Structure 1
Amino acid sequence: MRTESVQLPFSQPIAEAYVKRSHPGIEALFGSHPAEEAHWHRRLNWLKAHADKRVASERLAEVLLAYNKRTNDHPSVLANIEAIREGAPVVVTGQQAGLWTGPLLVIHKAVTAIAAAKDASRMTGTEVVPVFWIAGEDHDWDEANHAFIRSGEATLARIAVPRPFGVRTSVSRTKLEQAKLTEALQRLSASLPDTAFKRELLETLEGFAVRCNDLSEWFALTMGWLFGKYGLVLMDSDDAGVRALEAPMFKRILLHNDELEAAYMRTAGVVRELGYALPADVSESCANVFLFEDEERVLLYKQDGDFRNRKETLRVPREELLRIAEQEPQRLSNNVLTRPLMQDYLLPVLGAVLGHGEIAYWTLTGEAFRCLGMEMPLIIPRMSYTLVEGTVEKHMAKYGLTFNDVAERYEEHRAGWLKERDELDIEGRFDAARTQFETMYKPVMEMSASIGRGLEDLGAVNLRRIQDQISYLEKRTKEAHARRFDTALQQQDGVALALWPDNQPQERILNMADIWNRSGSAWLDKLLDAPYDRSGGHYLIYL
């Protein structure tokens, strides 16, 4: 398998400082780094010594078993759940449930978790299990409900499932009619080019659709199809069984809420002092917990000892919320600052695989962990990949396109390629025409201005209009010239769409169905054999 390491720009300065270990102050907020083998052993020993601070492994295994038998019933998964029952630590990653798994970065997270678990098992001599946390409790429907597919040579199609009418509840609780799932599959079928793999893909996704009525379960079934044989254990944060396990931790979060708020605020101050913008909202009086009220997911704030929503149309006494935590935990949900704590309470987390944005907001949680007598797990930057299909590679060679050309200067490269084939020197001749016209016209403008004061402005306006017309003709001439190279330009545009769609990294846009349709399962096998680095990195994977 051919691979090539490339460096993508960091979107988060905090994550860059952590990954590159370039700022001791940032690394201190995490307390460990995956590049240090000793830190893995230290964390493993901590997990063994503090098993009583987490959900009992027997109870956890039973909940995981019930969920995975519905969505991910593969012998390798069931064996890994039994390992968790016996006390095996985990490497966990997660994402909101997206349509057909969402953008490729979700796949990359799962691949990284599997690779990191294998690496940790070898390093520590202890079996380590990969787990994928489906954030079904999230309610950002517009982020979860769509997929981007290449339709044709150079067209990007967006396929989305509309949100049903009603309150904005979690994705797992947003129930969909079968007709809506069928419509999405029909649009997918119409958008995908015909290939040897298309029928299998569509029949598989359709088979999953008839078994579920929400995006989270469709997501889980698809992830199980892709990764079940690799032992990836799935869990949905909004699953009723998981919620029941969370009850004691919700109560602790509420009882120590003021202390947690102070911890988040102090850490936010440290981040600012280190010269970084806050990666997540840290608000005074925010409880960092959601309440499902009539199925609407409402963020809670503290006021006079009670809890309220932002608009103050809902008020819940403290004792009532504590009762809900104990007796109705399915009515509560975490936010980005309390989810790491809950995850560490549920699972024996040796390491958490995070994207750069997630790494940034986890900087705010270290003191909160300690506030509850816990320690932050190892934070593992997820691996990042760009898949390069055979046709794309061939066209890159044909037109002298590198990955950096596409990612950093594609329009410039495209225009330069066209200009090299301009035997008429279109741009030069139009520039000369504009210069010659202005030279001839200026004396006339000056003469007119000498006769009447208002004619000076009129002459200038007239000059601009004529120049605009010359530019318009130049544009149309260039377009006519470009049409002579339609096939070549479409092939180059196809390369750009494949590697850097919508001027963004491939992994942030394209859906796995796009790649599967063109390559079958070969691309996934290659990803799972791709290089893995504990500090992350980006690789081109040639299919």
Structure 2
Amino acid sequence: MKVTQIPFKNTGFFSKTMLDYVAQKEAMHPFFNNFPDSRGFSNQIKEKEKSFTHQSRLVLVDALKKQYTQFEVSEKTQENINLLKLQNTFTVTTGHQLNLFTGPLYFLYKIISTINLSEELRRKFPENNFVPIYWMATEDHDFDEINYFNFEGKKVKWSRDDGGAVGRFSTDGLEHVFEVFASQLGNSKNANYLKELFSKGYLEHNNLAAATRYIANDLFKEFGLVILDGDAAELKKLFIPFVKDELENGTSFKEVSNTITKLEINYKIQVNPRDINLFYLSENSRERILHEDGVYKVNNTSLQFSKSEILKEVEQNPVAFSPNVIMRPLFQEVILPNLGYVGGGGEIAYWLELKDYFEKVNIPFPILLLRNSVQVISEKQQKKLDKLAVSHADLFEKQHALLAKKVIENSEIEISFEDKMRYLKNEFSELKEVAKKTDISFVNAVNAQERKQLKGLENLQKRLLKAEKRRQVELVDRITILQNQLLPNQSLEERQVNFSEYYIAYGPAFIKALKEVLNPLDLTFTVLEL
């Protein structure tokens, strides 16, 4: 096993927002609180300790114990749940949709980053306890985003009627998905584990939330991961004051809109707030709450409330009020003694819009940590890269640029016209000095001729490169195939591939390897040779 770290910016897959955040650029400073380093976490501990009550801890622990009732709880996870009662215990959280069989690889990277960060904080601050939390996005309702995963280039998909919060979805119909998936796995020891994991997760639990909890728990219970479902009445009760504030004052819209005005000067906006950033949740629907002409209406239904009626409904039925992407982070920070959120680039980008909102409602804004990203390279693939003289840095170049570079390096003739272009520019530079002594029309003519000559050289270079690519077709094909394997669809494999492909090959050693090498505070991209 060999590990190489590459700056995020050198991969070409991370936004300006993320690169500037990681670099702590001055333009970013108004949009985050403490940065993910030792000093930042020390400050965050003090802030959260003052704001999170013992009563909230008891409610949280009680909710977790109920949620784990039907599940095997490891000694380490049980210990972490009990530790949450103590005032010196804090959490580090990541969240993820309930993707079928965990979805893309980065599901693992998020959770392992969170586990490793918790362990690192224990070493840095031994007087405190730190618990890794996986927040299941059970209240999401975009089924099309989660109803499939990719295995060996093929989509394994679950088809069913959409509607409501996905965590409440029945697992009926997943028997057929299991049969299709199992038929592709073979009968190795690792394959049989995956079959059992899928079968016990989805065929022995009656809803998607329970199935996802089983799978995540089985994969990570030895590390003490605590899995939380926010769709619980006792947890929603803690959020009642903020739901009422949203309905009466539209605070999130005002504050987030103000932040966006400042943020969009330099950065792309990830999400935009609505007037009311809440859904009304029932058994088979999750619909926006609208406020029109003094009446609160539930979109696409006949439900409507006066102001007093909807505030009463919040008190009596808090579980029906579901925060959207703008308010969900606040809900998380209200019910958890949380220090930091570990997320992908898109998630961190929308969290950066929320700092003013958190300050307005007097809840500490958490530390934001860009999760670890990984490119896995097998021993066989690394040998091919070495033979082709393709470095890890080369691998992340655009394919046309990579092929041109390697064809030029491997050619027996000179394909690059850079020297010729420099010579031509120098010649025209002298000619321009002469032209300046005549009139403007001659200067323009010289400039036009220079552009024409340079364009001509560029075209000749392209034709020569194209011809050389045909001559070196074997090299071109080998590089193309290998890069496509490692970066499917010219994208990071972590967004395309399911963990099962690596589990088939390496078994539990794959997760152990990730656990060993991922350093969430390093803030670089990881290349892992297995």
TM-score strictly above 0.5: yes
Alignment of 1:347-366 (within 5 A): 347-366=336-355
Give the 3-state SS of the residue equivalent to 1:282 in structure 2.
coil
Task: State the Cα RMSD in Å.
Answer: 3.0
Contact 2:93/2:340 (8 A) holds in 1: yes
Question: Partner letter of residue 200 of structure 1?
Answer: Y
| Equivalent residue number for residue 263 of structure 2 | 271
1:142 is displaced (CA, Å) by 1.0
Secondary structure, counterpart of 2:517 in structure 1: coil
Q: What's 2:141 paired with?
A: 139
**Alpha-carbon spacing, 1:405–1:209, altered in 2? closer, same or farther (3 Å):** same
1:4 aligned residue: 4
Cα distance, 1:346 vs. partner? 0.6
The alpha carbon displacement at 1:371 in A equals: 1.7
The CA deviation string for residues 269-305 of structure 1, in whole angstroms up to 9 with x for no partner, is 1213x3223221123xx21011025621112232233
Q: What do the CA deviations read for 1:473-524 (whole angstroms, capped 9, x no partner)?
A: x99xx79x97xx6xx9997666334421121101111111111111101111
Alignment partner for residue 131 of structure 2, among 119, 129, 132? 129
| Structure 1 residues without counterparts, runs of 5 or longer | 151-155, 424-473
Q: Find the partner of 1:253 among 219, 224, 243.
A: 243
Tell me the amino acid that sits aligned with residue 282 of structure 1.
P
| CA distance 1:90–1:210, change in 2 (3 Å) | same
Q: CA deviation at 1:417?
A: 7.7
The SS at the match of 2:164 is coil
Match of 1:516 among 503, 514, 522: 503
- What is the CA–CA distance in structure 1 between the aligned matches of 2:168 and 2:45, rounded to whole Å? 36
Query: Using a 3 Å threshold, how does the CA distance of structure 1 residues 399 and 253 change in structure 2: closer, same or farther?
Result: same
Q: Secondary structure at the match of 1:529?
A: helix
Structure 1 pair 282–199 and aligned structure 2 pair: CA distance change class (3 A): same
Q: Measure how far apart 1:400 and its partner are.
A: 3.1
Q: Distance in 2 between matches of 1:336 and 1:360?
A: 12
Contact 2:171 2:202 in 1 (8 A): no
Partners of 1:266 and 1:296 in 2: how far apart? 31
Question: Which residue identity is paired with 1:262?
Answer: K
Cα distance change of structure 1 residues 294 and 220 upon mapping to structure 2, 3 Å threshold: closer
Q: Which residue of 1 aligns with 2:85?
A: 85
CA distance in 1, matches of 2:367, 2:96: 18
Give the corresponding residue for 2:201: 208
Q: Secondary structure at the match of 1:92?
A: strand
Q: CA deviation at 1:198?
A: 1.3
Alignment of 1:45-194 (within 5 A): 45-52=46-53, 56-71=56-71, 73-87=73-87, 88-125=89-126, 126-150=128-152, 156-162=153-159, 164-165=160-161, 168-177=163-172, 180-192=173-185
Residues of 2 paired with 1:310 and 1:219: CA distance? 29
Q: Which amino acid aligns with 2:96?
A: Q
Residue from 305, 310, 313 that aligns with 2:294: 305
1:19 and 2:22 equivalent?
A: yes
Q: Could you tell me which residue of structure 1 aligns to residue 325 of structure 2?
A: 336
**Shift in CA distance, 71/385, structure 1 to aligned 2, threshold 3 Å:** farther
Kindly provide the CA deviation profile for residues 181-208 of structure 1, in whole angstroms up to 9, marking residues without a partner as x: 2222222233346655212221232122
Whether 1:33 and 2:60 are equivalent positions in the alignment is: no
Contact kept in structure 2, 1:12 and 1:360, CA below 8 Å: no
Shift of 1:268: 1.5
Range with bigger deviation, 141-150 or 70-79: 70-79
Instruction: Flag the 1:121–1:310 CA change in 2: closer, same or farther, 3 A.
Output: same
Please give the alpha-carbon distance, in whole angstroms, between the structure 1 residues aligned to 2:193 and 2:526: 28
Q: Secondary structure of 2:494's partner?
A: helix
Q: CA deviation at 1:70?
A: 3.0
Q: Describe the SS at the equivalent of 2:277.
A: strand
Shift of 1:399: 3.3
Instruction: Give me the whole-angstrom Cα distance separating, in 2, the residues matched to 1:422 and 1:402.
Output: 18
3-state secondary structure, aligned to 1:235 = strand
* Aligned residues of 2:202 and 2:208 also touching (Cα < 8 A): no
Displacement after TM superposition at 1:402 (Å) = 3.2
Q: Distance in 1 between matches of 2:391 and 2:409?
A: 18
Which of the residues 478, 500, 506 maps onto 2:487?
500
**Segment drifting more, 214-223 vs 114-123:** 214-223
Give the match's secondary structure for 1:147.
strand
User: CA shift at 1:409, angstroms?
Assistant: 3.6
Amino acid at match of 2:156: I
- Shift of residue 243, structure 1, vs aligned partner: 3.1
Provide the secondary structure at the position in 2 that maps to 1:383: coil
Match of 1:431 in 2: none
Segment of structure 1 superposing worse, 99-108 or 64-73: 64-73
Q: Distance in 2 between matches of 1:415 and 1:146?
A: 36
| Regions of 4+ moved over 6 Å | 414-423, 488-491
Distance in structure 2 (CA, Å) of the matches to 1:527 and 1:115: 10
**Could you report, residue by residue, the CA deviation over 1:40-99 in whole angstroms, capped at 9, with x for unpaired residues?**
1221112222223x8621221121122234345111111110111223110011111111
Shift of 1:9: 2.8
**What displacement does 1:261 show?**
2.3
Where 1:510 maps in the other structure, the secondary structure is coil
Q: Indicate the residue corresponding to 1:429 in structure 2.
A: none
Decide whether the 8 Å contact of 2:167 with 2:209 is kept in 1.
yes
**For the structure 1 residues 407 and 149, does the alpha-carbon distance in structure 2 shift closer, same or farther, using more than 3 Å as the test?**
farther
User: Structure 1 residues 193 and 314 mapped into 2: Cα distance closer, same or farther (>3 Å)?
Assistant: same
| Structure-1 separation of matches of 2:191 and 2:56 | 44
Q: Which residue of 2 aligns with 1:433?
A: none
Q: Contact 1:352–1:379 (CA<8 Å) still a contact in 2?
A: yes
How much has 1:390 moved relative to structure 2?
Answer: 2.2
Query: SS of the counterpart of 2:266?
Result: coil
Distance 2:107 2:12 in 1: 19
Write the deviation string for residues 336-375 of structure 1: whole angstroms up to 9, x where unpaired.
1111111011100011112111111112211111222211
**TM-score when scaled to structure 1?**
0.79
Alignment of 1:389-404 (within 5 A): 389-404=378-393
Supply the AA of the counterpart residue of 2:256. Y
Q: Which residue does 1:280 correspond to in 2?
A: 271
- Helix, strand or coil for the counterpart of 1:137? coil
1:207-226 aligned within 5 A: 207-226=200-219
Which amino acid in 2 is paired with 1:15? Answer: M
Say how many residue pairs are matched.
Answer: 470
C-alpha change, 1:200 and 1:275, in structure 2 (3 Å) is closer
Does the CA-based 8 Å contact 2:12-2:396 persist in structure 1?
Answer: no
Q: Which amino acid aligns with 2:326?
A: L
In 1: Cα distance, 2:218 partner to 2:482 partner? 29
Equivalent-residue separation in structure 2 for 1:243 and 1:118 (angstroms): 31
Letter in 1 for 2:63: V
Give the 3-state SS of the residue equivalent to 1:4 in structure 2.
strand
Q: Is the 8 A contact 1:72 1:228 kept in 2?
A: no
Distance 1:276 1:511, change over 3 A: same
Report SS of the residue matched to 1:70. Answer: coil
The 8 Å contact of residues 209 and 218 in structure 1, kept in 2 or not, is answered as yes
Q: Shift in Å at residue 246 of structure 1?
A: 1.5
In structure 2, what is the Cα distance between the partners aligned to 1:490 and 1:209?
41
TM-score, scaled relative to structure 2: 0.81
